[in-house]
Amino acid sequence: MKKTSQFDEAEFRKFENKIDDVLKLLQDMSSEKDVTHTGPVIETSPLPDEDDFIVKVREDRTILNDVISENPVKKEPHTVDKFTFVQQLEQDAAMRAENRRNREIIADNFRRLGNKAFKEQRYEEAINLYTKAVDYIKDSPILYNNRALSYIKTRVYKRALIDCDFVINRLDEKNLRSWLYRAVAYFNLDDQVNFEKSIKMAKKHNANEIDYIDKFIDRIKDI
């Protein structure tokens, strides 16, 4: 019985090492890409993201009404309350933007600490630090992807899926890292149907990365 246990442990370690090779493939293939590639920059590193943490806001939410500024109305007595109200709204918007920036700074510090813990293979600590970052900024795909990868490294695949699905369903349905980490998680759970679905959706939303994804599939199926 003891001999069987030792055999199982050795086989498990061998399998785990191959999974690490697949994750490393994400970085290897990213470095092989043609430098003239003009498609969108896609997060594909198997290490936690270091850059582009701040979520890009598509519109200036502090600008409430351009029409008012471009076509000023005379402040007659009965309109004073209206202008006071708009002014207060603008001040509130500016305050919210400042609060957002402050929260981003705190979250980014937790993210960097999480990245350091991850690289030192302290994955549980990395998960806790990424979670603290998410407490401050809840709409950054990078934070969820980094935590998902940490869950994969600790073999908590279902929790990794929760983070990947949150990114895909709520933040960025095209996110390649989320789809590929999702595929890795389902592969480890022996769920072939959802593994293939994840790859299919990764291709659908990232048509410029088909060769990259095919190489990923070939590598993971060699395990």
Q: Where are the domains of the chain?
A: 23-32+41-221
pLDDT in single tens digits along all 223 residues of the chain: 444 444 455 554 555 555 565 556 554 544 444 333 333 323 334 556 655 555 443 334 333 344 334 444 455 555 557 667 677 777 778 888 889 899 999 999 999 999 999 999 999 999 999 999 999 999 999 999 999 999 999 999 999 999 999 999 999 999 999 999 999 999 999 999 999 999 999 999 999 999 999 988 888 776 5
* Among candidate residues 28, 67, 32, 64, the one with its CA nearest the CA of residue 45: 28
CA-based radius of gyration for the chain: 23
Per-residue pLDDT at 131: 97
23-32+41-221: CATH architecture:
Alpha Horseshoe (1.25)
State the pLDDT at residue 21: 59
- The whole-number pLDDT of residue 94 equals 82
What tokens were used for 139? 């709409």
pLDDT (0 to 100) of residue 117:
96
Structure tokens at 4: 């069987």
CA nearest to 65, candidates 39, 83, 53, 51: 83
pLDDT score of 209: 94
Task: Give the pLDDT of residue 15.
Answer: 52
pLDDT score, position 155: 95
| pTM greater than the 0.85 cutoff | no
